[in-house]
Amino acid sequence: MARIRADKMRALLKVYFISGSTNTAETELANVLAQAIAGGVTLFQFREKGRGACSGAGKTALGKKLQAVCQKANVPFIVNDDVALALELDADGVHIGQEDGSAAEVRRKIGDRILGVSTHNVAEAKQAIADGADYLGVGPVFATSTKADTRAVCGPEFIARLREEGIHLPIVAIGGIHAKNAVEVVAGKADGLSVITAISNAADPKAAAQQLSQVWK
């Protein structure tokens, strides 16, 4: 297996849905994911973190269930910060944050699978590239209440600054993104939109995903 090409990675980042049982009830999560994919989600990240999150066998079982939904629709399945689970499930990739260990070490463990790294400044972005990242997660571009440890808002313009600094790796923006402000992110030269609550809290996940997908057309 070869590393994913940058152009393919950019296409996959367009509507990137992140969720777990702390964002959507475990009993509803697979259905919400299926609806979101039907609406245009191009990549899914299983992020099982926070108070009340599943662990052990329960986390593995939920991961398998969501992975099956993704496989049925040919949407890549990414695991957040759990290399062991990603390898056990033969996931398509792993996403890590700055506090989740060495990206270079993760790359060594996962081989040619997709590797995403959250970055918040130019130095982190350049280090992630050196460590073998396939894409960068940049944010929060807008205020968000989803994560308790959220850093300062960087704004969509920060992505444009990264481009000016010579960062050409695919970039997905995250943090407070929804259909009404997504156009600002696209204008800021991001390759994709990463969302949690814009889909997980939507009355109609399919319609929410469709609205985000339309931003790229």
Closest CA to 49 of 80, 91, 3: 80
167 is in an annotated binding site: no
Known active-site residue 118: yes
Q: Give the active site residue among 21, 118, 200, 213.
A: 118
Q: Is 200 annotated as a binding residue?
A: no
Pick from 65, 106, 62: which is nearest to 87 by CA? 106
Selection from 123, 54, 67 nearest residue 93 by Cα: 67
Spatial separation of the C-alpha atoms in residues 97 and 26, rounded to whole Å:
24
Find out whether 196 is annotated in a ligand binding site: yes
**Active-site annotation holds for 194:** no
Catalytic residue among 3, 147, 161, 189: 147
Ligand-binding site membership of 26 (annotated)? no
Structure tokens at 162: 């990264």
C-alpha–C-alpha distance, residues 49 and 125, integer Å: 24
92 is in an annotated binding site: no
Determine which one of 14, 47, 59, 206 is catalytic. Answer: 47
Reply yes or no on whether 10 is catalytic.
no
Residue 49 labelled as part of a binding site: yes
Residue 46, annotated as binding a ligand? yes
**What tokens appear for 89 in the block?**
């499930």
Is 139 labeled as ligand-binding? Answer: no
Secondary structure letter of residue 145 according to DSSP: S
The answer to whether the annotation marks 55 as part of a ligand binding site is no
Q: Give the three-state DSSP class for 109.
A: helix
DSSP structure string for 25-94: -HHHHHHHHHHHHHHT--EEEE---STT---HHHHHHHHHHHHHHHHHHT--EEEES-HHHHHHHT-SEE
Q: Is 163 flagged in the annotation as binding? A: no
What's the token pair of residue 65?
Answer: 């269930």
Tell me if 99 is assigned to a ligand binding site: no
Residue 134 annotated as part of some ligand binding site: no
What residue numbers does the annotated binding site cover?
45-49, 80-81, 100, 118, 144-147, 176, 196-197
What residue numbers does the annotated binding site for Mg(2+) cover?
81, 100
Which residues have a catalytic role annotated?
47, 118, 147
